[in-house]
Amino acid sequence: MADRDEGAKRTLIFVYGTLKRGFPNHYLIQDQLTSNDAVYLGSYITVHQFPLVCGPYGIPFLLNLPQSDCHHRVHGELYAVSSLGLEVLDEFEGTSLGHYERLPIQVCGGSGSDGGGEVVDAEAYYGHRCFAEGMWEKNGRVGFDVYTEDMARKYVKREDRPKGRSFLEAIRSFFFLSSGRSLRSEKTLMLPYDLKQLRLHAS
């Protein structure tokens, strides 16, 4: 059967967290591989250094803060994704809700730990700019170069998370509650980002 997306331009997507092979949300990619809406291109590493951290529920975030200290070239996987597959990933990553934003990134392949192959222009899902700096600060400005299986064991799937709390509310609590503040006091404090601004960015 002919490729239904034959001749159509595909988007190169670099994944670094739970969408990788063997990780909790890879089923989304696997479904696209099965339907020919994605093609696996191999293991890649970012050309530039970025912070990679974990937030609430053990969710990994690549942060678009390339000038920050204590950052690394980040390891992940590269896929060529159809327009239909991209819609699925955008919805999953909450790009219209201010959760993540899909932005350009340069990566390179190769068998070595530092790549060394041809530089490729791709896109990746970064933690939204409106909470990126706060997330970096909350992690003590310390990141890592690869999201590991040990880290994934702390990941809480969506169906297992508390009901009635949004993604952004979970981030809000992550910023304040782990600092010893109560939920009541948290509601009276200023966030590192403005929720109204987030909605404007997401619209």
Closest CA to 73 of 31, 108, 121, 27: 108
Split into its structural domains, the chain has a count of: 1
CATH number of the domain where residue 81 is located: 3.10.490.10
User: pLDDT tens for residues 97-132?
Assistant: 999 999 999 999 975 666 678 999 999 999 999 999
In a domain, 4, yes or no: no
Cα gap 16→79, rounded to integer Å: 11
The percentage of the chain sitting over the pLDDT mark of 90, rounded to a whole number, equals 71
- Structure-token match 């390891």, residue found: 75
Is 93 catalytic? The answer is yes
Cβ count within 10 A of residue 67:
7
* Residue-number span of the structural domain to which 194 is assigned: 11-202
Cα gap 127→105, rounded to integer Å: 13
What is the number of alpha carbons within 13 Å of residue 176 lying toward its C-beta?
19
Which residue among the candidates 77, 93, 101, 123 is catalytic per the annotation? Answer: 93
pTM equals: 0.84
In a domain, 160, yes or no: yes
In a domain, 1, yes or no: no
- Structure-token match 């996987």, residue found: 77
Q: Is the pLDDT of residue 63 over 80?
A: yes
In a domain, 2, yes or no: no
In a domain, 53, yes or no: yes
In a domain, 5, yes or no: no
